[in-house]
């Protein structure tokens, strides 16, 4: 399907007056949703788990795995451009409405609970500039400030998705600047001796405990890397609003590679700035502690500002994703129709009100029961892995079936790229007389149709074609009724009757090795 066709379809679904998202906006959604607070706390979290050597192994495994997932979203966006909603759409089209619903609901629950965590952490970071006011982000002033920020973002998105996406681009650029600044400072201050002092972590102890074997270190650090890539599906979720479905795949891969490069640089350069045990003992955000050690107190403040901007940007990106993952299934009848309602600006108003209402309730809950809130966050976070699984499974399903593959791309050399029929019996290539002309059998069929129409014109005008006395060479009646009317004996080798125009049915001969299921379908016809 061409980009023009896809764009036209998207305009029909989202409204012709509503601008669609280009490559830069989609890439910003991917980067903005992946970069939150994790990268700013990455140095200490990784230093407490693994030395540089096991870290290299773990990042290689995780990077290849997540790159594969990025290619899955890219491939599905190109081969299935008609599927909307990303992780929801792939689950639905591959495994039915129920799986699609569970995928969308799990993703939504995980996303908005993550938004609560972002807001709490944001105001906990503001405590750096206002000591004793916000503390850990769960005090009364913090809850009031978080609620104000939440509803400001709410009404910003209600003004139009395109406006919110543009602001997300600006915020994404702003959050990357502090990270790039840290990388530049780390390159200048990098000490190779510190990096290689205990490359495999055999002698390093964290809190008076050894790091363990190389395998243990790899396993422990990979528990952290799983979560830093959440958001890679952002462009796929917004596929319905994309100018071109090819941009969805490009944005996913480009966004992933950009974030991966930033993560690797921040993580490995940190080991050349301080001893591993000292890095592990830094308070979060540990990147601020490293900057303070290199350039002084202003560096910590600079990184803290970057973290605040990053959290606001991630919050905006995830509010957009929360609303979109509800809007698409609601418009397709999988969820309540009210959730698919859009306002005059094309914003998903129904989904937004439900999402931010849930966030507000849990924000209030954090003030009274912080432990309950943390439990809900951990539970909801695990739900986002299932949509990834269903998307990958859908890609495997397409490959096994041979769907969307052209000549030379599929598994079966006789596969013509058509979707599977009943009982998964693939359409076969023409054989015998028709094989000499390939698939060009239309002129023969058209000639047959003209002769039929001519005979009908001389008859009583009845549309019943089974009362013809004679058949031209190359024609064949369909089913036992047609053979009986023509005075011919029953032939079990004939294929079942095909749907469509009775004058232009493509009757392909089948060899004598037809399966039992094919013969059963013939008898039924």
Mean pLDDT of the chain: 77
Rounded average pLDDT over 399-418? 59
| Segment 315-344, tens digit of pLDDT | 998 999 999 999 999 999 999 999 999 998
pLDDT at 284: 79
User: How many Cα neighbours within 13 Å face the side chain of 219?
Assistant: 6
| Segment 47-106, tens digit of pLDDT | 999 999 999 999 999 999 899 999 999 999 888 988 988 899 999 999 999 999 999 999
Handedness of CA 278, 280, 282, 286 (dihedral sign): positive
pLDDT at 483: 45
| Segment 342-352, tens digit of pLDDT | 998 888 999 99
Domains observed in the chain:
3-399 (1.20.1740.10), 423-524 (no CATH)
- Cβ atoms within 10 Å of 422's Cβ, excluding its own: 9
Confidence band for 113, pLDDT divided at 50, 70 and 90 = confident
Q: Is the peptide bond before 285 cis (omega within 30 degrees of 0)?
A: yes
pLDDT at 425: 43
- Of 511 and 244, the structure prediction assigns the larger pLDDT to 244
- What distance, in Å, lies between the first and last C-alpha atoms of the chain? 34
Question: Phi-psi category of 191—alpha, beta or left, where left has phi over 0 and alpha has psi -120 to 50?
Answer: beta
pLDDT at 162: 84
Confidence band for 475, pLDDT divided at 50, 70 and 90 = very low
pLDDT at 4: 33
User: How many Cα neighbours within 13 Å face the side chain of 241?
Assistant: 25
Q: What percent of the chain has pLDDT over 90?
A: 38
| Segment 123-174, tens digit of pLDDT | 988 988 888 888 888 889 999 999 999 999 999 999 888 888 888 889 889 9
pLDDT > 80? residue 373: no
Q: Enter the pTM of the model.
A: 0.71
| Segment 213-235, tens digit of pLDDT | 999 999 988 877 877 888 888 88
**H helix or E strand, kind and range, residue 209:** strand 209-210
């Amino acid at each position: 399907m061409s980009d023009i066709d896809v764009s036209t379809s998207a305009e029909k679904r989202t409204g012709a007056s509503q601008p669609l998202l280009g490559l830069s906006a989609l890439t910003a959604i991917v980067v903005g949703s992946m970069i939150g607070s994790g990268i700013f706390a990455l140095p200490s979290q990784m230093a407490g788990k693994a030395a540089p050597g096991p870290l290299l192994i773990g990042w290689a495994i995780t990077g290849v795995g997540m790159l594969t997932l990025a290619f899955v979203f890219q491939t599905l966006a190109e081969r299935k451009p008609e599927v909307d909603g990303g992780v929801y759409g792939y689950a639905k089209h591959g495994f039915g409405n129920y799986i699609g619903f569970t995928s969308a609901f799990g993703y939504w629950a995980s996303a908005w609970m993550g938004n609560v965590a972002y807001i709490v952490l944001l105001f906990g970071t503001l405590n750096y500039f206002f000591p004793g006011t916000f503390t850990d982000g769960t005090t009364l002033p913090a809850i009031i400030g978080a609620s104000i920020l939440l509803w400001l973002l709410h009404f910003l998105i209600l003004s139009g998705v395109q406006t919110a996406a543009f602001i997300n681009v600006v915020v994404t650029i702003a959050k990357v600047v502090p990270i790039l600044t840290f990388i530049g400072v780390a390159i200048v201050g990098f000490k190779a001796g510190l990096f290689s002092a205990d490359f495999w972590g055999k002698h390093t102890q964290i809190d008076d405990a050894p790091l363990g074997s190389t395998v243990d270190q790899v396993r422990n650090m990979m528990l952290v890397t799983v979560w830093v890539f959440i958001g890679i599906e952002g462009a796929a979720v917004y596929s319905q609003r994309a100018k071109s479905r090819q941009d969805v795949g490009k944005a996913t891969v480009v966004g992933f590679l950009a974030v991966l490069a930033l993560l690797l640089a921040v993580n490995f350069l940190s080991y050349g700035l301080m001893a591993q045990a000292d890095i592990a003992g830094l308070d979060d955000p540990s990147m601020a502690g490293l900057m303070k050690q290199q350039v002084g107190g202003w560096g910590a403040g600079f990184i803290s500002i970057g973290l605040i901007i990053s959290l606001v940007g991630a919050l905006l990106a995830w509010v957009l994703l929360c609303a979109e993952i509800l809007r698409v299934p609601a418009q397709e009848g999988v969820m309540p129709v009210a959730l698919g309602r859009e306002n005059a600006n094309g914003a998903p108003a129904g989904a937004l009100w439900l999402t931010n209402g849930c966030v507000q309730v849990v924000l209030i809950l954090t003030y009274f029961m912080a432990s309950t809130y943390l439990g809900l966050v951990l539970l909801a976070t695990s739900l986002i892995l299932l949509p990834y699984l269903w998307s990958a499974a859908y890609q495997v399903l397409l490959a096994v079936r041979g769907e969307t593959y052209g000549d030379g791309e599929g598994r079966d050399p006789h596969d013509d790229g058509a979707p599977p029929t009943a009982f998964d019996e693939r359409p076969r290539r023409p054989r015998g007389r028709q094989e000499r002309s390939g698939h060009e059998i239309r002129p023969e069929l058209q000639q047959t149709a003209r002769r039929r129409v001519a005979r009908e014109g001389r008859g009583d005008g009845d549309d019943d074609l089974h009362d013809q006395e004679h058949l031209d060479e190359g024609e064949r009646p369909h089913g036992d009724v047609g053979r009986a009317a023509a005075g011919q004996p029953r032939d079990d080798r004939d294929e079942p009757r095909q749907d469509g125009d009775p004058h232009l049915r493509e009757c392909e001969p089948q060899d004598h090795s037809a399966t039992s299921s094919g013969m059963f379908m013939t008898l039924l016809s």
